[in-house]
Structure 1
Amino acid sequence: MRARFTSSVAIVAAVLIGMSGGPAVADPADDPTTTTATTVTTTPFTTPNTDNCPNSSSPPKAIDLSEVPAPGDPTPQPLPIPDEPVGGDELGDCGSVTPDGAPALPKEISATAWVLSDLDSGAVLAAKDPHGRYRPASTIKILLAIVALRELDLNRVVTGTIADSEVDGTRVGIGPGGRYTNLQLMQALVMASGNDAAHAIAAQLGGDEAAVRKMNDLAKSLGGMDTRTATPSGLDGPGMSSSAYDLALFFREAMRIPKFAELIHTEQVQFPGFPPDPRIPADKDHPAFTIGNDNQLLYNYDGALGGKTGYTDDARQTFVAGAERNGRRLGITLLKADVLPIRPWEQAARLLDYGFSLDRDASVGTLVEPEGKAGTTTTSRRQQSSGVTLAAPPVDATASRLPKSNDDDFGWAGPLVFVLLGVLVVLALLYWADSLNRRRNRH
């Protein structure tokens, strides 16, 4: 049975939709994030040990049949391991990596792999098994969001299909015949992790296979050498893998898109309903309903920017988020975590607190820049001692990615206008002086 995504907001949405006669979503009993109190363990908790690099080439063995190829399809082989660790030598370590002289890491972190980074400078502040390969679950929707925001018209209206409404996993509540703008689909994708929204978006990108291909091409162009997407939504599939480092790359790139930053910071929006389903006798109109953001860090952490949650039976808890304090923006990515001994967003909060406590020049590596994008260079204390320099982003990383306005086609006009105005002013002054001189001569 294919693993299913769940989220606490989907449960709230289910109640709201159910009250209004709308479609059902995931069962709360399937969601390990719905606990209302911190889970207490009966035995001492130990952070997973990855020192021996158990996942250097492939994720842990699947517990179900979600990654079995379809009949006739080949079994994907593990992605090649780069000769040099992407982002710097220290990020080739599989255990915990911290800057020289840094304090001890927070306790009670169940995430098997994580990366703490600076969203602006690109510095990796600390990490654990950063290039270990794991299943990303719904956090891979960040890649789909980038592709969609680059290619789709957010004002375009599309009609919901039966196929949208029948996808596996968590569904926001798209119904056949419903009319949705791409902006509303993006809200459903990013805020409520709707797999039905992912399906509707992928259809506009050429279908699931084409969308996956675009996501994989994007991952590679961003420097994500550990990532192979198998489904647009993040449902587990043959060959699926990513790493905490790659997700940090993807999140940083997404945060350069103002609309994405707005989406992950939005707490709730109204979502359209849909007409009666002709397949259901005496079905009635399904009214609009409210969807909420499923990232609890957004509501509970000072300075939270938002992020993306994920879960499948094989991936376990995955989490990507960012926060800002004193003009500094940090990102955190967690893979293969559990609601143990504290929830993933609480683990992220502790690691963000740790990052904000470090010196601004603390670093163990860097988030590489996308292909064809130049950056300035920065060095950490360890890099200075070893003579290694690593790329960091330019100050304004967003401007070069925004579409040019039509005014840019006439960039030559500005200077010419000023020259012509100057000539006219000079001629006017000469004419005035000549007139004044003639009047004086008459007297």
Structure 2
Amino acid sequence: MRCPPPPHWPTALGELGYLDPWLAGLGVPGAPMGLYVRRVPISSHYSAPAARTRRAAARGGLASAALALCLLAAAGAQPSYADENEPGGKPAEPKPPAQMSTIGGEQLGRPGTQVNLKKGAPELPEKLSGRSWIVSDAESGKVLAAHNAHWRLPPASTLKMLFADTVLPKLPKDRNHKVVSSDLEGMGEGSSLVGVKEGESYTVHDLWLGVFLRSGNDAVHVLSAMNGGVPKTVREMNEKARALHADDTEVLSPDGYDHKGQVSSAYDLTLFARSGLQNEEFREYAATATAKFPGETKKDKKTGKTKRGSFQIQNTNRLLTGDVGVDPYPGIAGVKNGFTTNAGNTFTGVAQRGDRVLLVTVMHPDAKEAHSVYKEAAKLLDWGFDADGKVEPVGLLAAPGSATNGGGAPAGKDGEAGGSGSRAAAHAADKPSGGAGTALGIMAGVLVVLALVAYGVHRRWPLPELARRRRG
């Protein structure tokens, strides 16, 4: 193996896990190339057997660290993530809990793959390596198949879907904001950036493009400041998650940056996407492939006048824009991808074929294959469209604000719709009898049914034209 020269410029390997270009030559698992950002110390990403690398970096800087890594690679060793190691130094493969949440149905709480194939149904794709995944009908909410759907895992930037669900409806898109230094405080080192600059003004529309296309943590923090600050935004995001029955989710940072205890699940991420897609602006941002983003204001040396330029940004969702080894998926219309060291690659997507609209979420697939998260998501979407009417649902996506049974699933057997009014009536039966109690019970049942009917009306959202142009 050829050891490259010491690094002298920072390059992104992945969306949030940023290292130097010479690490790519060592076969370090990662994600597609991203935006140039400030350097991240190797010690923040790797543990033993890379301890020698950290010590070398401390003694002789990054050049020594590069040499140490080369020696490791030459000996056949690879830097390991900070997971607990099995005997022999091999990272231990994490296992899902034996019991998980049963929101959406009892079957979704079981570990392993869950699918109910009818006669003639296509088999699930082979070699799916995601630790957790789920494919569902976006409009009916029926879960067609799942694998560890409620396993609580780091979500990376797919958590930005919940951020958008929470903040996007509150800020008019034509509102202008001049960025001050405090707006950009608190971002984790190595954060993905769209290029927001202190002292420049941006519209809310500009900032959301930065969030959805470039996963810009700088744009997230500015929008959070406009929403009253990061602590308030985090609190509201957790409240929104509870309202959506996304009980696997715990938010500590609005941008999805790695924090111990910040988790979500494939089920919850799908709920966030489905909720966001009710909003026309959310759909627009999620489906945008490229856009112009405001640059810096500079003074022209010849004329003496100031002028603000712009630069093009491209969506990092590879099923939307394509990349080497990955074609744009026919009918794709968003939604969000992510990557951090702890989360690996994560992705939630929505696609349409004919009258069917499917949602798919994949979390932490095997990183040995480039773009594995997109390839596995595409396989699951293909399967879901082929399996139309040939599988029995394994559960249901909870509707926002719907009642749940004692196990946390929407009322009705295994998450089937239609039980909410009955549950309200059952609660009413526990109250003292009489005209007032009966009236309250009936009213409760009616309100729950009306809420579900309203959700049913609004969930048939039109996907952007991009989906229709790219149908197979």
Q: Same fold (TM over 0.5)?
A: yes
Hey, what does 1:225 align to over in structure 2?
247
How far apart are residue 103 of structure 1 and its match?
Answer: 3.1
Runs of 4+ in 1 over 6 A off after TM superposition: none
- Runs of 5+ unmatched residues, structure 2: 1-14, 19-30, 46-92, 300-305, 322-327, 405-410, 419-451, 462-472
| In structure 1, C-alpha distance between the alignment counterparts of 2:342 and 2:259, rounded to whole Å | 10
Distance 1:373 1:286, change over 3 A: farther
CA-to-partner distance for each residue in 1:237-288, whole Å, 9 max, x for gaps?
13211110011111100111111111111111111112469xxxxxx97731
SS at match of 1:390: coil
1:330 to 341, 358, 362: 358
Greater displacement, 217-226 / 235-244: 235-244
Hey, what does 2:339 align to over in structure 1?
311
User: Given that residues 136 and 145 in structure 2 are in contact (C-alpha distance below 8 angstroms), is that contact kept between their aligned partners in structure 1?
Assistant: yes
2:169 to 134, 150, 159: 150
Hey, what does 1:184 align to over in structure 2?
206
Distance 1:53 1:292, change over 3 A: closer
User: Given that residues 175 and 274 in structure 1 are in contact (C-alpha distance below 8 angstroms), is that contact kept between their aligned partners in structure 2?
Assistant: yes
How far apart are residue 297 of structure 1 and its match?
Answer: 0.5
Distance 1:399 1:303, change over 3 A: closer
2:178 to 159, 171, 174: 159
Matched positions, count: 327
Equivalent residue letter for 2:107 = E
| In structure 1, C-alpha distance between the alignment counterparts of 2:155 and 2:320, rounded to whole Å | 20
Hey, what does 2:369 align to over in structure 1?
341
Equivalent residue letter for 1:360 = G
Aligned pairs for 1:249-398 (under 5 A) are 249-275=271-297, 287-299=309-321, 300-343=328-371, 344-360=373-389, 362=391, 363-371=393-401, 389-390=416-417, 394-397=455-458
Equivalent residue letter for 1:331 = L
Hey, what does 1:104 align to over in structure 2?
123
| In structure 1, C-alpha distance between the alignment counterparts of 2:103 and 2:379, rounded to whole Å | 26
User: Given that residues 249 and 368 in structure 1 are in contact (C-alpha distance below 8 angstroms), is that contact kept between their aligned partners in structure 2?
Assistant: yes
Q: Looking at both structures, which has the greater relative contact order when contacts are Cα pairs under 8 Å and sequence separation is at least 6?
A: 1
CA-to-partner distance for each residue in 1:111-166, whole Å, 9 max, x for gaps?
11001011101010100000111000000000111112211111110112334556
Equivalent residue letter for 2:148 = D
| In structure 1, C-alpha distance between the alignment counterparts of 2:39 and 2:228, rounded to whole Å | 27
- Runs of 5+ unmatched residues, structure 1: 15-23, 32-51, 58-79, 278-283, 375-382, 401-443
SS at match of 1:116: strand
User: Given that residues 135 and 242 in structure 1 are in contact (C-alpha distance below 8 angstroms), is that contact kept between their aligned partners in structure 2?
Assistant: yes
User: Given that residues 131 and 226 in structure 1 are in contact (C-alpha distance below 8 angstroms), is that contact kept between their aligned partners in structure 2?
Assistant: yes
How far apart are residue 100 of structure 1 and its match?
Answer: 2.8
Distance 1:125 1:309, change over 3 A: same
Q: What is the root-mean-square deviation in Å for CA atoms of aligned residues?
A: 3.3
| In structure 1, C-alpha distance between the alignment counterparts of 2:347 and 2:319, rounded to whole Å | 10
What TM-score do you get using the length of structure 2 for normalisation?
A: 0.63
Task: Determine if the alignment matches structure 1 residue 10 to structure 2 residue 34.
Answer: yes
CA-to-partner distance for each residue in 1:344-389, whole Å, 9 max, x for gaps?
1111100100100113373111001111589xxxxxxxx99x7973
Distance 1:213 1:56, change over 3 A: farther
Structure with larger Rg? 1
| In structure 2, C-alpha distance between the alignment counterparts of 1:387 and 1:288, rounded to whole Å | 52
| In structure 1, C-alpha distance between the alignment counterparts of 2:123 and 2:353, rounded to whole Å | 21
1:95 to 70, 88, 112: 112
Hey, what does 2:140 align to over in structure 1?
121
What TM-score do you get using the length of structure 1 for normalisation?
A: 0.67
User: Given that residues 257 and 398 in structure 1 are in contact (C-alpha distance below 8 angstroms), is that contact kept between their aligned partners in structure 2?
Assistant: no
Percentage of pairs with the same residue: 33
